[in-house]
Structure 1
Amino acid sequence: MQLVDVSVTIHNQTVLKRIHWHLPAGQSWLVLGTNASGKSTLARLLAGDLACTQGRIEDPIHAAAWVSLESQQALYERELYRDDTDFMEQLDDGTPVSALLMEIAPWSDQHDRLVTVLHLAPLLQRGYRLLSAGEGRRVMLARALLAEPALLILDEPFEGLDSASRADLHRILGELIEQGQQLVLLINQLSDRVVGFPYLALLDQGALLFSGAMPADIDSVWQQLLAIGRPMPELPPRQSAYQLDQWPDHQPLIDLVDGFVQYDETYQFRSLNWQLRPGCHTQVRGPNGCGKSTLLGLITGDHPQCYRNQLQVLGYQRGQGESIWQIKKHLGYVSGNLHRDYRVSGNVLTAVLSGLTDSIGVYQSVGGTETALAKSWLALIGLADKAQRPFKALSMGEQRLVLIARALIKQPPLLILDEPTQGLDDFNRFYVLDVVARILAQGPTTLLFVSHRQDETLACITHSLVFEPDTSGRALFRIRQG
């Protein structure tokens, strides 16, 4: 395949600029780029999912498979479209993983091998909508490999994976290269680099800065690219209307007594007695699928079993007549699930403003003060020039930055960040964490934080909740407090 003077324009914006790139058969490439560099657009070109606006593609590879956050979202939306809950006496959990794999090919030894290699056996009978982001990513990779593509394109495949799954995927990709599978791996973090890729392409702001043999000094090349970063402006003012006036330090923001989540006869976890007090910033850790996001869903009210638990959030007992808006008014929240479900039309500015109305989209009038506040947050995350662009027209990394601004706009008393930096490049990851640290340092905001990355933590975090396998057999996981 060869890209000759290729440019791509989307929504009147040039995303790729005069790309010249030759991919001989059998060559595997690592593509490294920052957020909004054009990586996903390039992946869509290679996969045949998008046509170029200018230039030409010679000898395209027709048998290409593309695994990305976008393709995972597309499968999720297909599952939502097929939701038969209204016609059943129970919730429709979606297509079982085993059926999703057999959509690609009849069951064979290859299925068995991938189930073993990707640790899919416990998931085979589970509906797709019950999977965590990391579990869903492994299913997407299995589906792609079952198609036996001539070219396998992996766009940010490590996002949302725990450390064990990341190590497994590194090993799997190395083995695929040794077996002759042609790969294009697109990443925005140098720590995701896989040993064994002989060629590198460096992409920034739609331009191909470098393509050729993997340089020995890739670390310094990447650092030079990140040096383009922006300075840190002042934080926008804290919004008094969303604060908790005179909240006592001894009164917990969250109080869960004998907490549990149960599916049929199986407990995900049980017997959790936990309080989150003001200023006790807490990190939640554990492997993919252990229930971290489920626990946060109990707190935010997005998981139906919150009403089966003895749970108080911000002084309100769940299920005792409280309005979800009474609680969400004082919450800021970002997660993979929120990103997945943020599917309404609307521009970037509206998406940030929706953090003030605690809705997906804005359905009431907002004043000039609120609009100015949203614009100041967009300036802080470096997207002021994209305020009027459709939210869905942004790259996945830019969308995540917008949803982070949505969560932070109130500088709320309780801030819940569930894998907030998913899809962000190295610069934006640490920039966002720096913004969060400044918010925590200057006001009464308490953080509940989830991240799989070992280098993502904040010095102010003093407490932890750690999900571990429950060897007693009473539940799948137990939760250790520290």
Structure 2
Amino acid sequence: MKESFVSIQNLNLKHQQKSVLRDLNWTINKGDNYILFGESGSGKTSLAKIIAGLQQADGAIKINFNNNSNLPAEVLFVESWYQFKNLEGVANFYYQQRYTSQQAKDTLTVHAELVSYGKEKGLHFDQVEPILESLNFSSFASSQLIELSSGEHKKLQLVKALWLKPQLLIIDQPYTGLDAASRKNLNILLDKVSAEGVKLILISNDSELPASINRFAEIKNGHLIEVESNEITPSTAEKHFREIPDFLKESPVYSSQQIVKMVDVNISYGEKQVLKNINWEVKAGEKWLLQGHNGSGKSTLLSLVNGDHPQSYANELYLFGNRRGSGESIWDIKQHIGLISPEFHWYFDPNATVWQSIASGFYDTVGLFQQLPYSKSEQVNELVAYFGLTASKDELLSTLPLGKQRLVLLARTIIKNPELLILDEPCQGLDQQQTQHFNQLIDELCSNGMTLIYVGHFESQLPTCLGKRILLEKGEVKVVESLNTKTRHFEEQSNLV
């Protein structure tokens, strides 16, 4: 008879009077490493937090730690998003602060964060260096936490978890924001700690998994079901595409046929050069794919286009026909742009309702702080209906499943029918069905002539409307090409992304 490591019996959880988990039973035997998956909102993260003792629920949970093991007798839950604080212990940041923080030095560096963590957990620093090298993260030692991209934050979380090696390690969306090479190296590291006795539960819908994963479980209708693979059982409810609102059928009103032009653009932080001699032009109506390794400079490049980066004034940069620094404000620039990024999602107002979140797109704020005129209110209502969010319009954005949150933020980005839509890894954390649905919406919404810059690593997670590609490597432009039937297989031919 197998010896159980985790035993869960009759677990029940309600959220706002709605049952999330119903009489859930789960036995994890010693030697089992699980993938836990399911549709967005099915209760995966809640179950993980309950096992880790971070959330309360009704039912019985017993964890049989090995008292003879050298590994810490604890459960470590790695959240899908990293929460960090400044030097005063406050986590109240704003989006543009990431690019102005060089002057302020208001958060710990990666090195200081690891030193602090090592002291707290009694770890030897020499043991973390191979992990940093494997995840290609050693060069970020002097970077402040607020300067890191979503993929870099994920690496920091993973480094700390793999360094600690708890007896039970639960990782929510381990591959979020990681490029292909980092994903492969992460799987090797996970297999290594598994061989040393760490039990794994990975919450993921990805197909490329560590070899040590030998069990699969899906949460469906509040129950946990053991299955043969992590292919989500198709939902009986089909996604119906409503007719696109009339105001989005019209072509955006372009102020210039030149959306972005960069001439020998360079960005440096001290001695670290992030972008080197970038030359790039985006014309009205073009659909661009932006790619590159973690740390290749993608986020910095986009911050120049968004108007967020203070070093844009020191470069020859043209946005919407005007040279940057010719008198326009950051808000003048943002009037032309709709944006989704993991970092923007982090800093969005958690107290805003779905309706307020969408409406805030008119004013480029992270919450709604003024009364909308009737005509604009009607546009919000049209988008709420178009995205199937009517039943959720008065709920807080932060309480919705991740898939719905992304739809809300997409609605927010297009509410003003912008000239330029910037989607920075918009499908992070979504399952395959949600990703397909999201990108079908992008294809439909961009059919009116909207300009698009889309950041994504994998061909299976891209909209079909993309026509051009720019690839960054170590801050330099490596490739600029047109995407057609021959070049759409670039990912299979190259390890650059």
TM-score, structure 2 length as denominator? 0.85
Pair 1:111-2:121 in alignment: no
Pick the aligned partner of 2:189 from 172, 176, 188: 172
Pair 1:304-2:321 in alignment: no
In 2, Cα distance between the equivalents of 1:141 and 1:425?
Answer: 21
Structure-2 residue corresponding to 1:63: 74
Structure-2 residue corresponding to 1:287: 293
In 1, Cα distance between the equivalents of 2:210 and 2:355?
Answer: 37
In 2, Cα distance between the equivalents of 1:274 and 1:374?
Answer: 34
Report the alpha carbon displacement of residue 481 of structure 1 after superposing the two structures with TM.
2.4
Pick the aligned partner of 1:333 from 313, 334, 339: 339
Residue 381 and residue 423 in structure 1: after superposition, are their counterparts in 2 closer, same or farther (change >3 A)? farther
Aligned residues: 460
In 1, Cα distance between the equivalents of 2:330 and 2:93?
Answer: 28
Q: Is the 8 A contact 2:288 2:453 kept in 1?
A: yes
In 2, Cα distance between the equivalents of 1:459 and 1:371?
Answer: 32
Structure-1 residue corresponding to 2:156: 139
Q: Is the 8 A contact 1:93 1:128 kept in 2?
A: no
In 1, Cα distance between the equivalents of 2:208 and 2:400?
Answer: 23
Structure-1 residue corresponding to 2:54: 49
Q: Is the 8 A contact 1:95 1:128 kept in 2?
A: yes
Residue 445 and residue 261 in structure 1: after superposition, are their counterparts in 2 closer, same or farther (change >3 A)? same
Q: Is the 8 A contact 1:378 1:387 kept in 2?
A: yes
Report the alpha carbon displacement of residue 410 of structure 1 after superposing the two structures with TM.
2.9
SS at 1:364's partner residue?
A: coil
- Unmatched runs of 5 consecutive residues or more in structure 1: 470-475
User: Is 403-412 or 189-198 further displaced after alignment?
Assistant: 189-198
Report the alpha carbon displacement of residue 25 of structure 1 after superposing the two structures with TM.
4.0
User: Is 164-173 or 114-123 further displaced after alignment?
Assistant: 114-123
Paired letter, 1:126: S
SS at 1:432's partner residue?
A: helix
In 2, Cα distance between the equivalents of 1:366 and 1:306?
Answer: 33
Report the alpha carbon displacement of residue 60 of structure 1 after superposing the two structures with TM.
7.4
Residue 357 and residue 404 in structure 1: after superposition, are their counterparts in 2 closer, same or farther (change >3 A)? same
User: Is 408-417 or 454-463 further displaced after alignment?
Assistant: 454-463
Q: Is the 8 A contact 2:278 2:476 kept in 1?
A: no
In 1, Cα distance between the equivalents of 2:26 and 2:260?
Answer: 54
Q: Is the 8 A contact 2:167 2:197 kept in 1?
A: no
Identity value in percent: 28
Paired letter, 1:96: T
In 2, Cα distance between the equivalents of 1:204 and 1:373?
Answer: 35
Report the alpha carbon displacement of residue 432 of structure 1 after superposing the two structures with TM.
0.9
In 2, Cα distance between the equivalents of 1:175 and 1:89?
Answer: 37
Paired letter, 1:477: E
Q: Is the 8 A contact 2:357 2:367 kept in 1?
A: yes
Paired letter, 2:128: H
Q: Is the 8 A contact 2:25 2:224 kept in 1?
A: no
In 2, Cα distance between the equivalents of 1:112 and 1:325?
Answer: 43
In 2, Cα distance between the equivalents of 1:448 and 1:290?
Answer: 16
In 1, Cα distance between the equivalents of 2:85 and 2:340?
Answer: 21
SS at 2:247's partner residue?
A: coil
Paired letter, 2:62: E
In 1, Cα distance between the equivalents of 2:144 and 2:270?
Answer: 14
Pick the aligned partner of 1:197 from 195, 213, 218: 213
Report the alpha carbon displacement of residue 125 of structure 1 after superposing the two structures with TM.
2.0
Structure-1 residue corresponding to 2:267: 261
User: Is 290-299 or 266-275 further displaced after alignment?
Assistant: 266-275
1:395-451 residue CA offsets vs partner (Å, 9 max, x unmatched): 34432232122113333221111101112111111111111111222x120111110
Report the alpha carbon displacement of residue 332 of structure 1 after superposing the two structures with TM.
1.0
In 1, Cα distance between the equivalents of 2:414 and 2:308?
Answer: 19
Q: Is the 8 A contact 1:298 1:306 kept in 2?
A: yes
Q: Is the 8 A contact 1:93 1:126 kept in 2?
A: no
Pair 1:73-2:83 in alignment: yes
In 1, Cα distance between the equivalents of 2:320 and 2:23?
Answer: 54
Q: Is the 8 A contact 1:397 1:422 kept in 2?
A: no
SS at 2:276's partner residue?
A: strand
Pair 1:210-2:209 in alignment: no
In 2, Cα distance between the equivalents of 1:379 and 1:76?
Answer: 40
Q: Is the 8 A contact 2:427 2:461 kept in 1?
A: no
Structure-2 residue corresponding to 1:472: none
Structure-1 residue corresponding to 2:11: 6
Residue 23 and residue 350 in structure 1: after superposition, are their counterparts in 2 closer, same or farther (change >3 A)? same
Q: Is the 8 A contact 2:259 2:284 kept in 1?
A: yes
In 2, Cα distance between the equivalents of 1:159 and 1:313?
Answer: 30
Kindly report which structure 2 residues correspond to 1:342-361, keeping only aligned pairs within 5 A, or say none.
342-361=348-367
Residue 124 and residue 260 in structure 1: after superposition, are their counterparts in 2 closer, same or farther (change >3 A)? same
SS at 1:158's partner residue?
A: coil
1:267-319 residue CA offsets vs partner (Å, 9 max, x unmatched): 21232222211122111110001111111111111222222222221223322
Residue 142 and residue 161 in structure 1: after superposition, are their counterparts in 2 closer, same or farther (change >3 A)? same
Structure-1 residue corresponding to 2:377: 371
Residue 345 and residue 192 in structure 1: after superposition, are their counterparts in 2 closer, same or farther (change >3 A)? farther
Pair 1:102-2:115 in alignment: yes
Paired letter, 1:18: D
Paired letter, 1:278: A
In 2, Cα distance between the equivalents of 1:75 and 1:382?
Answer: 36
User: Is 235-244 or 19-28 further displaced after alignment?
Assistant: 235-244
Q: Is the 8 A contact 2:290 2:471 kept in 1?
A: yes
In 2, Cα distance between the equivalents of 1:3 and 1:466?
Answer: 47
Q: CA RMSD in A?
A: 2.8
Residue 198 and residue 89 in structure 1: after superposition, are their counterparts in 2 closer, same or farther (change >3 A)? closer
Pair 1:120-2:155 in alignment: no
Residue 294 and residue 353 in structure 1: after superposition, are their counterparts in 2 closer, same or farther (change >3 A)? same
SS at 1:321's partner residue?
A: coil
User: Is 451-460 or 162-171 further displaced after alignment?
Assistant: 451-460
Q: Is the 8 A contact 1:350 1:362 kept in 2?
A: yes
Report the alpha carbon displacement of residue 162 of structure 1 after superposing the two structures with TM.
0.7
In 2, Cα distance between the equivalents of 1:430 and 1:466?
Answer: 23
SS at 1:433's partner residue?
A: helix
In 2, Cα distance between the equivalents of 1:167 and 1:226?
Answer: 30
User: Is 224-233 or 22-31 further displaced after alignment?
Assistant: 224-233
1:347-377 residue CA offsets vs partner (Å, 9 max, x unmatched): 1211111112211001110134433433443
Report the alpha carbon displacement of residue 237 of structure 1 after superposing the two structures with TM.
2.4
Paired letter, 1:467: L
Paired letter, 2:126: D
Report the alpha carbon displacement of residue 209 of structure 1 after superposing the two structures with TM.
4.6
In 1, Cα distance between the equivalents of 2:240 and 2:61?
Answer: 39
In 1, Cα distance between the equivalents of 2:183 and 2:217?
Answer: 22
Residue 95 and residue 89 in structure 1: after superposition, are their counterparts in 2 closer, same or farther (change >3 A)? closer
